[in-house]
Amino acid sequence: MSRWSQAVAWIAGIAAGGGIAYTAYLTVEPIVLVESTAAPAPAASVSPSASASPSPAPTAIAGDCSWDRLPEDLRPAVLEDEPEGLPEARGMTDAVWGCVGEGWAVEVHSADGDRWRAGGTAQALYLAAPDGDLLKLFDLRTDVEVVLLEADLDARLAWTARVSDADAYQVVEIELETGLVIDDWGGDAIPALQRFVSEDQVTSVAPLDAFGGDGTLWAGYSATGTLQSLFVREEGAEFRGLGAQKAVDSLLAQDGVNGLGEAGDEVWLDRDGTVAMILVQEAYEPASDPDAKDLTRAQKRRAAAWRTGGGTWVVVDLVTDQWRLAEARLPDGLCRAAAGTYIPGTYEDPGDLQVYCLEGVDDDEVYRLSLDADAVARTEAGP
């Protein structure tokens, strides 16, 4: 077999998975292929390229337009005959949504210097372009003040509060492209405490600035403005409740109360939005107190109004959604969060919390509460 035949046979054997012996391969001397000298390539003729003709001026808004580069004649016209006091704004069109992106924002503006007044002040929802132009989306109700809470332009959604003189306010979800207003949003992620006006409405909630996890941490408030629930907006209209919410709901279903003796709880957060502590207190039962056997019915009601029968801590890691329960070692009176106080520690060791606890129907005492120790009375409130 010639050297060429041996080489071809070896290559064919490798390609076919054949078994050419390694020793046979070593006997094949290198093959030198002599290539003919390539003829020189003909010199390329160089001719000047034609000058690029200027792009024609756009005659319509493209789907991926840049608002800053959009000529004035393609921008929507400024609206006329608007209610007095509303800012100058252009009309909004479907095509303009192709320009909306980074640098855009959703805003609410009211007539009379953006100060809503009871009695029918005009107000509207707008898109604010990066160059300051306003584009009006639609008019808003005039019987309540509308406050923008959060917007997601990628999802074309916004959440607004309808604020009045009432103790609670309704929050609605708005589809920015269609103007559709959704009362019942968030699904099961919304704690039952925030549906106390109606099961089909979400009441007294707002996003928080600090959150150590992904998405936006939202808080729910009581009729007196105290923090009482938490949930998370993950992306778009996707919301999720805390993993600990079922445990909290179970405690509330057992007549759990807050620091005012009303159905509810007390909630604390750390400054970074990474840990929460929820205190559900037990309603006091005078019938179980041997010292109360001689009290009249009115006296028992008065005693039950400020006393606690104990309580339970729910400690939540807001980043990992882990949680645990612990017995709350409380003084005799119901306890509530002191304004402006935060959890000083971590999920593993939250530290002490400053609270106000009732000492009778009308008197308060300042206490320090912690997970693993009895309540400690303090002489005055402080950091």
**Is 220 exposed, middle or buried, given 0-12, 13-18 or 19+ CB atoms closer than 10 A?**
buried
- Please give the average per-residue pLDDT across 214-240, as a whole number: 96
Domains of the chain: total:
2
Higher pLDDT, 346 or 22: 346
Partnered with residue 219 across adjacent β-strands are 206, 230
The pLDDT assigned to 184 comes to 96
293-310 pLDDT tens trace: 565 655 555 556 788 889
| pLDDT interval class at 121 (50, 70, 90) | confident
The pLDDT assigned to 66 comes to 87
What's the pTM?
Answer: 0.79
- Is 22 within the bounds of a domain? yes
The pLDDT assigned to 378 comes to 81
Flag whether pLDDT at 334 surpasses 60.
Answer: yes
Instruction: Please choose, from the candidates 134, 129, 144, the residue with its C-alpha nearest in 3D space to the C-alpha of residue 109.
Output: 134
- Is 89 within the bounds of a domain? no
- Is 290 within the bounds of a domain? yes
Least confident of 5-14, 172-181, 324-333: 5-14
The pLDDT assigned to 153 comes to 97
Flag whether pLDDT at 46 surpasses 60.
Answer: no
239-250 pLDDT tens trace: 999 999 999 999
- Is 313 within the bounds of a domain? yes
Whether the CA torsion 225, 227, 230, 236 is positive or negative: it is positive
263-284 pLDDT tens trace: 999 999 999 999 999 999 998 7
Cα distances (Å, whole numbers) of residue 89 to 3, 34, 65: 87, 79, 20
CB 137 within 8 A of CB 108: no
- Is 383 within the bounds of a domain? yes
- Is 166 within the bounds of a domain? no
The pLDDT assigned to 47 comes to 33
Higher pLDDT, 45 or 169: 169
Based on C-alpha coordinates, what's the Rg of the chain? 35
Instruction: Please choose, from the candidates 248, 242, 266, the residue with its C-alpha nearest in 3D space to the C-alpha of residue 322.
Output: 242
- Is 286 within the bounds of a domain? yes
Average pLDDT score over the chain: 82
54-97 pLDDT tens trace: 333 444 676 678 899 899 999 999 999 999 889 999 999 999 99
The pLDDT assigned to 210 comes to 97
Residue 20 domain boundaries: 1-27
The pLDDT assigned to 273 comes to 98
Least confident of 31-45, 127-141, 257-271: 31-45
The pLDDT assigned to 117 comes to 73
Percentage with pLDDT > 70 across the chain: 76
Would strands 256-257 and 275-283 be described as parallel, antiparallel, or unpaired? antiparallel
- Is 122 within the bounds of a domain? no
The pLDDT assigned to 24 comes to 28
Dist. CA 265–CA 276, nearest whole Å: 13
Percentage with pLDDT > 90 across the chain: 63
The pLDDT assigned to 290 comes to 58
